[in-house]
Amino acid sequence: MADLDQNTVTEAVIAQMADTPDPRLREVMASLVRHLHGFAREVKLTPAEWLAAIGFLTRVGQTCTPIRQEFILLSDTLGLSRLVNLMDDKANRVGEATETSLLGPFYREAAPQFGYGESIATRAKGPEMMLFGRVVNEAGEGVPHATVEIWQTDADGAYDLQVNNPEVMDMRGQFRTDAEGRYAIRTLIPLGYSIPMDGPVGAMVRAQNRHGFRPAHIHVLIGAEGYRELVTALYLGDDDHIDSDTVFGVSESLVVHPRAGLEGAPDPALPSVRYDFRIARKAAHDTSGRVGADPSKIAAE
C-alpha cells in the first residue's frame, strides 16, 4: 500500500466512498470531503483548532430543543440559508413571483386560524398595524382560498416561544384569501430583535464583533393548490438594522413602510401596509422551498 500524504488522503477517502449506490449522495459527499480537506489545508488547521470546532458543533447540537434550533441559526448567521434560498429561487422561481426570504428558526406548524381582518395578537399588547392586499398569480389575477400564514415578534421583539410556555401560540396565525384573492391581517408593529445570544452561535457572533440583530419583520408563508409555496418576509424600512441583518434575509422588494390613511385600507386610522404577493405555478419536479422547519419536527426525527 502507498503511504498517504496530506494531498493523497483526500482521493483515498473519495475512492473508498466510490461505491455509494445513491448517485447524489456520492456526489455530495465527494465534494464535501474535497472542500473540507481543502479548507483544512488552506488554514493549516491545528489539532487544538480541530478540537475547538468539534466542541463548538457539539454545543450547537446540545442547544437544540423542540422549541430552539441552533443549527438553523448557525446556517442563517453564516449566510448558508440565504445562499440555498437564492439558488432555489434561481432554479424554480417563475416570472415575477415575490422574492423569498428565510423561514427562520421560529416557525411553528398548526398556528391558529383567523378570519379576514382579525388580529393575531391574542395576548401581546402594543401599537397596532394592518397588513392587507391580494395574493395573485403570474397574470395578476387574485388566487382565491390561498393560505396566508404569518408569524412575528411582539412589540418587545420577542416570539411567543420566548415569552410563553411552548403550548401557547401568539403573534402567529393562518388566514385565507377571499374569492378575489384578498387578505387582511391586524397585528402589532413588530420590533427588531437580537438572535438568541446565550448559545454557541451567539458566542461566535460576539467573537466576530457583529451585532446579532435582525431588522423588524413579519414572516409570511403562502400556499395554494397548484402553486409553489412562497416563504418570505416583509421588513420595516425604518429599522436601524435594515442594511445589516445578521442573517442576510432582506431584499429591497420586501421592504415596507406602514402608514396611516392608506387608500383601500380596512382601517384607515391604523398604520397599514398594502402588499400583493405573487405566487408561481407549481412545476412537476417542484420540491419544498422551505429552508427550515418547525423545531419540534426536527427534534422528533
Distance CA 277, CA 134 (A): 6
Minimal distance in Å, beta carbon 249 to Fe ion? 8
**x/- binding map, residues 200-239, to Fe ion, per CB under 5 A?**
----------------------------------------
Min separation Cβ 192 and Fe ion, Å: 9
Q: Closer CB to Fe ion, residue 185 or residue 224?
A: 185
Using the minimum distance from each CB to Fe ion, give the nearer residue, 224 or 273. Answer: 273
Contact range with Fe ion by CB under 5 A, out of 37-45, 79-87, 103-111, 123-131: 103-111
Q: Is there binding between residue 289 and Fe ion (CB under 5 A)?
A: no
Q: Check residue 190 for interaction with Fe ion (CB under 5 A).
A: no
The answer to whether residue 292 forms part of the interface with Fe ion (CB under 5 A) is no
Counting contacts by CB under 5 A, is residue 173 touching Fe ion?
no
CB of 101 to Fe ion, least distance (A): 9
# residues contacting Fe ion (CB under 5 A): 1
Report which residue's Cβ sits closest to Fe ion: 104
For Fe ion, the closer CB: 227 or 235: 235
Q: Which is nearer to Fe ion, 104 or 289 (CB)?
A: 104
Cβ at position 23, least distance to Fe ion in Å: 36
Residues 103, 156: Cα–Cα separation, whole Å: 21
Burial class (CB in 10 A: 0-12, 13-18, 19+), 71: middle
CB nearer to Fe ion: give 63 or 177. 63
With CB under 5 A as the contact rule, the residue among 104, 200, 212, 289 that binds Fe ion is 104
Based on the shown chain and the rule CB under 5 A, indicate whether residue 249 belongs to the binding site for Fe ion. no
Shortest gap between Cβ of 71 and Fe ion (angstroms)?
16
| Smallest gap from residue 144 Cβ to Fe ion (A) | 28
d(CA 183, CA 186): 10
Nearer to Fe ion, 104 or 181 (CB): 104
Minimal distance, residue 173 CB to Fe ion, in Å: 15
Instruction: For the CB of residue 262, give the shortest distance to Fe ion in the complex, in Å.
Output: 24
Residues found in the chain: 301
Which CB, 194 or 296, lies closer to Fe ion?
194
What cell does 169 get?
401560540
| Residue numbers at the binding site for Fe ion (CB under 5 A) | 104
